[in-house]
Amino acid sequence: MTTRLFRNISHLATFDDAGTEITDGAILIRDNVIEAVGATAELGDSQADEVLDLSGHIVMPGMVNIHHHMYQNLTRVMVQDDELLVWLKTLYPIWSHLDDEAMGVSARVAMAELIASGCTTTSDHLYILPNNCTLDSTIDAAREIGMRFHAARGAMSRGESQGGLPPDRCVEKEDDILKDAERLIGEYHDNSRHSMSRIILAPCSPFSVTPDLMKDAAALARRHPGVRLHSHLAEDLFEEDYCHDVYGMRSVGFAESVNWLGPDVWFAHSIFMTGEEIDLFAETGTGVAHCPSANMRCGQGIAKIREMLDKGVNVGLGVDGSASNDTSNMFMEARLAMMLQRVAPNKYLSEKPGGRGGFGGTPSALSAREALTMATRGSAAILGRDDIGYLAPGMSADFIAVKLRQLGLSGTKRDPLAALVMCGPFKVDYSFINGREIITQGEFRDVDIPAWLEKHEDVMDRIYSH
């Protein structure tokens, strides 16, 4: 067994239940698990096989990304000025040419971006699998780079000929989807503590699958401990119109009708929800992945995150796909999540006598620490993890360190943790995932990023040649 001691940490933010922050902190890990957290004065003389001095750094838990479409970094900066419906219809035909090689290299590039921006655990919602594409290639990518990975077996089964939005060549047969999902669970799903690989079942959206697939996927997931459910919901007004016209109900009503509410379910975006629907999410434990960059990029609206948090909804952060973001930076998502709530329509002001309501918000709508809590503990809880998201004995050794003496962080000694959000985005100087050192002094240790980028460019050129 190997022990490592990290000491002289200038500012250590644990995100534990008490919100403990330590000046001159230390962490002792044994293999892949944290053994002790405290002050250097308490732990600094601990016997360890290796000692790393992190003076001049702020350390916090690795962030957890709960919504992504990694393959989309092959189609960045396209459809820059149109609504989501046009965006999708333009990109579906391009995505229909993707193959397994494209999935693998795009996942590697996406994971490297995430790790560099402070993420140590991610999910990926892979819902389009044309040609020979498999989820296996993205799982292989996570194992190669060393990322903790929740792979979402997405799917589209309702093409244009059946009244859905995607072209028929982009959809799969529902029996094949469920059979492959069962295979993936058997081969890759590890529900043990400190697991590096879990499977999620994730039919794409109300306008691209049938109610039967939603029900069957839910039943399949619930036969296997720890297999969770994920989809898009209430993302855009055309989705609300679709659900009304096809199902005779709102999108949240549709989710309820197919058994997709509960503590094992979370949805991406959830912008167009009423107060009653937010109450329903809180009552059932249904989670939300907030993706502020993508929501602004596509002009969809502002999710009611303050109201959700106040009512007890589980909320985490996601970067969303790199064709609708167009990056994979968790510090940026935390920053924008905080800023966006401060300009959101403020229902509390309108309820007060003489309140002005409307836009204008309030500076206290969402704090920097709340944004980072969503990115760590909030996201971890939604994934069903009790071993990541904060730093304490018995937790997985997933944490990041950012150098404080750098451009952009000068003058932030009063509150270096808030500075990671308010002054960012930043890249990490150290990243440890499951006790493994992935980034050292700002550089990846064991992977050839330039070679991945070259391969990515070659694959992109091939895809666009069709």
Residues in the chain: 466
Task: Identify the H or E element spanning 77.
Answer: none
Compute the C-alpha angle 265/268/271, nearest 5°.
115
Burial of 405 (0-12, 13-18, 19+ CB in 10 A): exposed
DSSP notation for 81-113: TS-HHHHHHHHHHHHTT--HHHHHHHHHHHHHH
Please give the sequence-ordered ranges of beta strands (E in DSSP) within 366-449, or none if there are none: 399-403, 430-433, 436-440, 443-444
Q: Domain extents for the chain?
A: 3-62+389-444, 63-382
Distance of alpha carbon 63 from its chain centroid, rounded? 9
Q: In this structure, are residues 327 and 280 in contact, taking their beta carbons and an 8 Å threshold?
A: no
The predicted structure's pLDDT at residue 364: 66
452/449 Cα distance (integer angstroms): 5
Burial of 212 (0-12, 13-18, 19+ CB in 10 A): exposed
Assigned token pair, 72: 């989309």
Compute the C-alpha angle 251/255/258, nearest 5°.
135
Burial of 45 (0-12, 13-18, 19+ CB in 10 A): exposed
Q: What is the pLDDT along the chain (466 residues), one digit of tens a residue?
A: 899 999 999 999 999 999 999 999 999 999 999 999 999 999 988 999 999 999 999 999 999 999 999 999 998 888 787 777 787 788 888 888 899 999 999 999 999 999 999 999 999 999 999 999 999 999 999 999 999 999 999 999 998 999 888 888 889 999 999 999 999 999 999 999 999 999 999 999 999 999 999 999 999 999 999 999 999 999 888 899 999 999 999 999 999 999 999 999 999 999 999 999 999 999 999 999 999 998 988 878 899 999 999 999 999 999 998 878 888 999 999 999 999 999 876 554 444 444 444 445 566 689 999 999 999 999 999 999 999 999 999 999 999 999 999 999 999 999 999 999 999 789 999 999 999 999 999 999 999 999 999 999 999 899 887 7
The predicted structure's pLDDT at residue 332: 95
201/223 Cα distance (integer angstroms): 12
CATH architecture of 63-382: Alpha-Beta Barrel (3.20)
Residue 258 backbone phi and psi in degrees, to 5:
-110, 20
Q: In this structure, are residues 187 and 197 in contact, taking their beta carbons and an 8 Å threshold?
A: no
Distance of alpha carbon 27 from its chain centroid, rounded? 26
Q: In this structure, are residues 38 and 8 in contact, taking their beta carbons and an 8 Å threshold?
A: no
DSSP state, residue 74: G
The conformational region for residue 357 under phi > 0 = left, psi -120 to 50 = alpha, else beta, is left
CA distances from 122 to 22, 111, 140, 457 (A): 27, 8, 14, 23
The predicted structure's pLDDT at residue 366: 94
Give me the CATH code for the 3-62+389-444 domain, please.
Answer: 2.30.40.10
The predicted structure's pLDDT at residue 20: 98
Q: Which residue is it, tokens 């250590």?
A: 12
Question: Can you give the pTM of this predicted structure?
Answer: 0.95
DSSP state, residue 63: E
